[in-house]
Amino acid sequence: MKVYLESFGCSASQASGEIMKAAVERLGHELLCSGEAEKAEVYICNSCTVKYTTEQKILYKIRSMGEKGLEVVVSGCMPEVQLDDILHANPEAHILGVNAVSRLGDLLASIEQRKKEGLLAGRLEIRTSEPLGFLNVPRERSNPNIHICQISQGCNFACSYCIVRHARGKLQSFPPEAIVEDIRSAVAEGCREIWLTSQDDSQYGMDTGFKLPELLRLISEIPGDFKVRVGMMNPFSVLPILDDLVDAFDSDKIFKLLHLPIQSASHSVLKRMNRLHKMDAVDTIITKFRSRFDDLSLFTDIIVGFCDETDEDFEETVEWVKKYRPEKVNISRYSPRPHTKAFTFRNLDSRIPVQRSHDLHKVCEQIKLGSKQQMIGWKGRVFVSKYTELGDVLTRTDSYRPVVISGSNLKPGEYASVEITAAKPGYFLGKLLEE
């Protein structure tokens, strides 16, 4: 069968998509390239339910592909929490549960058999209670140099706006030996950049006692030339492991990148969000990381326009951004999600989140522009991550800043000394220095 697979959402969802693509090809089906959906017999939608806009896009895809006569399979988070919406859009949609990535072959085999026998349509559904097939399985990677390793499934906290916890359940940390073997195999296959992903990386091991710092130390001992990008970590789950975590980041194989979502700098908003941290704890975390790593990159996530957020609340967040100057801010307008506590809260006028998002973007761009200008003339060591579409190489500083080098013979996994010569919107330009 001709199969078209489309993934939405986070890096964990992207990793599941890579696993399912490999399964499609391994089973002898034809995996169609991007833009070839019209040729497909089966459309697989690896869904995300974090934002209303994404949800609506997915429901449109599910409906329109079904109307064109395609067999539609919906995987990912949406089937766990919005099955009725999916079936309203397409009553014949097949369902692959968020934990059942490894069962895609069974689902496709059933679809193919029924097509061969000319049986009447009827939807199929496969779910598993335990997460299966996320590690040590073949991948069809979006980039052959980057391996996305999911280290756990689920979350033990309950932010009032978050639907993902309802979709993925309570925390289940994957065995450290399986994670190490998964990364070891990826490095042997040529991957030079490893992304550790989950709903919250710093929760890893809260259910088993084998915590993230210990896991990072094991990963750092794997032979080979590779670097590790640790994914998003919530302040309230970082704090209990802070000292050990900073020590673990000292490894040469760990990018000095701290992705610490605050969502808001207002304590009253944080309370309504059920975010279990105070801003002095955030300050403690950032101060300890910056004290150890001078060139640390700080990423954060912020939700604007949350229920009852006042102008004063928003201004506190803006002032926090101006003070701590993160290199990247992922800004989201609050989007009410079903099954969450905040779904019952009073929402702001829809124009307010739009304006606040615009205002915060403006502040972030000014900060980013100033930071980029300060980097011009920087000299230091970079790690070669991957080739660009134009044949240049994308390198990264120890703090994950992207530097593109043209006209070199560098290969992924190598190190080089460079000077940053210019700044572009999403990256820097650099030139090689003689060793």
Domain-wise residue ranges, the chain: 2-126, 146-375, 379-432
pLDDT 10s digits, 387-426: 888 889 999 999 999 999 998 889 888 999 999 999 988 8
For 146-375, CATH gives 3.80.30.20
Q: How far is CA 10 from CA 15, 54, 76, 198, 205, in A?
A: 9, 12, 11, 9, 21
Which DSSP letter does residue 120 get?
Answer: P
* CA distance from start to end of the chain: 53
Residue percentage of the chain with pLDDT more than 90: 89
The structure tokens listed for 211 are: 């915590």
pLDDT 10s digits, 308-350: 999 999 999 999 999 999 999 999 999 999 999 999 999 999 9
Instruction: Report pLDDT for 115.
Output: 80
Domain spanning 379-432, CATH architecture: Beta Barrel (2.40)
Instruction: Report pLDDT for 35.
Output: 84
Residues 6+ apart with CB under 8 A from 274: 157, 158, 159, 160, 341
The structure tokens listed for 313 are: 């609340």
Angle ∠(343,346,347) on CA atoms, nearest 5: 85
Q: How far is CA 387 from CA 379, 408, 410, 421, 427, in A?
A: 21, 11, 9, 19, 14
- Pairing type for strands 71-76 and 2-7 reads unpaired
Instruction: Report pLDDT for 120.
Output: 61
Between CA 409 and CA 232 the distance in angstroms is 33
Closest by CA to 420, choosing from 388, 384, 372, is 372
Rounded average pLDDT over 131-159: 95
Closest by CA to 42, choosing from 136, 111, 124, 128, is 111
Domain spanning 2-126, CATH architecture: 3-Layer(aba) Sandwich (3.40)
3 state SS for 270-336 = HHHHCCCCCHHHHHHHHHHHHHHCCCCEEEEEEEECCCCCCHHHHHHHHHHHHHHCCCEEEEEECCC
pLDDT band at 47 (very low <50, low <70, confident <90, very high): very high
Instruction: Calculate Rg over the CA atoms of the chain.
Output: 22
Instruction: Report pLDDT for 265.
Output: 98
Instruction: Report pLDDT for 116.
Output: 80
Torsion of CA 257, 263, 267, 269, to 10 degrees: 180
pLDDT 10s digits, 55-92: 999 999 999 999 999 999 999 999 999 999 999 999 99
Has residue 276 got a pLDDT over 80?
yes
Angle ∠(99,103,106) on CA atoms, nearest 5: 155
Sheet order of strands, 30-31 included? 30-31, 2-7, 42-47, 71-76, 94-96, 125-126
Rounded average pLDDT over 87-103: 96
CB atoms within 10 A of CB 112: 17
3 state SS for 163-194 = CHHHHHCCCEECCHHHHHHHHHHHHHCCCCEE
pLDDT 10s digits, 211-224: 999 999 999 999 99
Rounded average pLDDT over 231-256: 98
Higher pLDDT: 265 or 373? It is 265
> Mean pLDDT across the chain, nearest whole number?
95
